[in-house]
């Protein structure tokens, strides 16, 4: 089973401990092509139970998730999320919501306020909690034989997404998750990650030592990309993706949009 480590790092010498859970995690890949099999209600219930078992800051539970099955709605969401066809093709599209409105509703019923929700810390908590929950769901999906792919492009048009999903104020869609049975004919593999020595520091941060491993990783990822008809390595893509506001697909306006949606971040 050491092949799982080798694939994850693109390094035939990679080794490590394996458990059933770690095997699922190491084998995870993004799935963008699905069979016609539906995701059952029991499977959806299991995914949400796994999600709710993730840690949540101060037990605030400031996230919600919307299960979208309707083909027409999935098609509209696909158009808003970068025209990615797999969003419409997947039998289930989960939209994860940073949801501070539940706390506002609690306060309203109690005749008080939750002014701390206007500060950046509260917004950060909602995004972190949603991500932790969704990743739990991803691992649970893999254990059920289901494939997934995260869709950050729902943040390209957050106001339109909010309208489509009838979100209350003080909430925003932070990412989507396409879910379904993987199509075995999809040409895709486990994409190699940076070597651990590039991300794992001991006691203090050592940028020089970590960055020394990036050139070899660029070569490994370029070789992987070439197998699937893509070009380039990792460093060039990072620089291109973060070059400026024009590379953010409209998300450079996120702060002002969050303000309008009722999630200010003072």
Q: What is the pLDDT of residues 58-109, one digit of tens each?
A: 999 999 999 999 999 999 999 999 999 999 999 999 999 999 999 999 999 9
**HEC profile of 70-114:** CHHHHHHHHHHCCCCHHHHHCCEEEEEEEECHHHHHHHHHHCCCC
Identify the sign of the CA torsion 74, 76, 80, 83.
positive
Only one residue has tokens 């080798």, namely 6
Which pLDDT tens digit goes with each residue over 1-50? 459 999 999 999 999 999 999 999 999 999 999 999 999 999 999 999 99
CA distance to 14, 123, 145, 222, 240, per residue, from 164 (Å): 45, 22, 30, 39, 31
Look up the pTM and report it. 0.95
- Could you give the maximum distance between any two Cα atoms of the chain, in Å? 62
CATH number of 31-188+249-260: 3.40.109.10
d(CA 250, CA 144): 35
């Amino acid at each position: 089973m050491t092949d799982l480590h080798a694939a994850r790092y693109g390094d035939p010498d990679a080794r490590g401990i394996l458990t059933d859970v770690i095997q699922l995690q190491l084998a995870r890949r993004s799935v963008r092509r699905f069979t016609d099999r539906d995701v059952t209600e029991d499977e959806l219930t299991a995914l949400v139970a796994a999600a709710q078992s993730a840690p949540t800051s101060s037990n605030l539970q400031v996230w919600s998730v919307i299960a979208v099955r309707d083909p027409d709605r999935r098609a509209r969401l696909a158009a808003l999320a970068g025209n990615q066809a797999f969003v419409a093709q997947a039998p289930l599209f989960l939209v994860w919501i940073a949801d501070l409105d539940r706390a506002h509703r609690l306060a309203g019923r109690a005749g008080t306020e939750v002014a701390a929700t206007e500060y950046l810390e509260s917004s950060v908590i909602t995004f972190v909690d949603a991500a932790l929950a969704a990743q739990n769901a991803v691992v649970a999906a893999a254990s059920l034989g289901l494939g997934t792919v995260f869709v950050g492009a729902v943040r390209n048009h957050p106001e339109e997404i909010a309208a489509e999903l009838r979100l209350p104020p003080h909430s925003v869609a932070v990412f989507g998750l396409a879910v379904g049975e993987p199509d075995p004919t999809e040409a895709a593999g486990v994409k190699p990650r940076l070597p651990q020595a590039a991300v794992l520091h001991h006691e203090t941060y050592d940028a020089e030592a970590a960055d020394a491993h990036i050139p070899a990783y660029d070569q490994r990822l370029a070789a992987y990309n070439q197998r699937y008809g893509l070009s380039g390595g990792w460093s060039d893509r990072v620089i291109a993706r973060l070059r400026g506001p024009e590379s953010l697909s409209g998300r450079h306006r996120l702060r002002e949009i969050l303000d309008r949606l009722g999630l200010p971040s003072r």
